[in-house]
Homo-oligomer: A and B are copies of this chain.
Amino acid sequence: MINVVIAGFRGAMGQATVQTVRNQADMKLVAVFDPHATTADMTQLPDDVALWTTDVDVTAADVWIDFTTVEAAYHNAVLAIQHGIHPIIGTSGLTPQQQQELQQQAVTAHLGGLIVPNFGLSAVLLMKFAQEAAQYFPDAEVIEYHHGDKPDAPSGTASATAHLIAKSRQNAPQPTVHNEARGADIDDVPVHAVRLPGLLAHEEVLFGGSGELLTIRQDTMDRSSFMTGVLLATRKVATLNELQIGLDKVL
């Protein structure tokens, strides 16, 4: 049985996590942590879930799942590490220096933990497979598809995928014509962004070799997909012996 405390339990991701953790046979929600919450906020929760509002409350749990704010997340992670609770930080925005400090503290405490920029398992697997395929197929292109309202292009995930492909490949790709129809050139990986109403969030990587193609695609239909990643992290974080970054570290 994994004993879990959730920080940020009143936000959208926190609420979904509370629901999901409670539905697992091998997990127990022992507490929620929120300095600003009162017992009035606990009406939806079972009686045996504790409300921790201060440092001194924090006692026994195995895993600390954090979906708070960038201001709170660093302090919360310090608190978790001090109490020997494995932190899983889903809150985004920690600075590189904050991340390094937390990693140092985790080393000192001999405690594993995870900072997770993306809980989408299909996206994380796509990136992992793309890196592996790039070792054999240096010629690759990325196409990402999002709703027309998305203000930037390409998506952060698509850019990250292109960087990983470039880093992983062992030969240079073949030269091709370059112009605006050929997309953004990210480390010699063309990245194309499609923006249309009706699209949700989709990413596709195409690898071409002599006489063959390999395509890896992922589609995110809604945020419920993130819960699969949260559960995976919760079940595996104790196997780590340092504070690592990325869901792929527990694959």
User: Could you list which residues of chain A lie within 8 angstroms of chain B, going by C-beta atoms?
Assistant: 120-123, 125-126, 128-129, 132-133, 136-137, 139-141, 143, 145, 148, 150-154, 174-177, 179-185, 190-200, 206-228, 232, 251
Top 6 closest pairs, chain A to chain B, by CB:
A196-B208, A211-B225, A212-B225, A211-B224, A198-B208, A181-B184
Decide if A179 touches B153 in the complex (CB within 8 Å).
yes
CB neighbours (8 Å) of A207 from chain B are: 122, 196
Give, as a whole number of angstroms, the nearest-CB distance from A144 to chain B. Answer: 8
Contacts of A213 in B (CB 8 A): 122, 196, 198-199, 217-219, 221
**Given that A209-B197, A209-B228, A211-B198 are contacting pairs, would A181 and B176 also be in contact in the complex, using a CB cutoff of 8 Å?**
no
Tell me how far the C-beta of A130 lies from the nearest C-beta in chain B, rounded to whole angstroms: 10
- With contacts A129-B129, A215-B216, A215-B218 taken as known, whether A177 is within 8 angstroms of B198 at the C-beta atoms is no
Most buried by B among A197, A221, A223: A197
This protein's copies in its complex: 4
Least CB distance, A188 to chain B, in whole angstroms: 12
Is A148 a contact partner of B139 (Cβ separation < 8 A)?
yes
| Chain B residue contacts of A177, Cβ below 8 A | 150-153, 195
Q: Name the B residues within 8 Å of A176 (CB-CB).
A: 148, 195
Residue of B150, B180, B208 touching A184 (CB-CB under 8 A): B180
Tell me whether A174 and B198 are in contact (CB under 8 A): no
Shortest beta-carbon distance, A140 to chain B, in Å? 8
Is B220 a contact partner of A217 (Cβ separation < 8 A)? no
Query: Which among A199, A208, A251 has the greatest number of chain B C-beta atoms within 10 A?
Result: A208
Give the complex CA separation of A216 and B151 in angstroms: 26
- Decide: A184 near B194, CB < 8 A? Known: A122-B213, A136-B125, A224-B210: no
Contact in complex: A196, B121 (CB < 8 Å): no
Contacts A136-B125, A143-B192: A216 and B216 contacting too (C-beta < 8 A)? yes
A209-B152 CB under 8 A given contacts A180-B180, A214-B218, A215-B216: no
Q: Report chain B residues within 8 Å CB of A192.
A: 143, 181, 183, 192, 194
Would A196 and B191 be within 8 Å (CB), given that A153-B181, A183-B183 are in contact? no
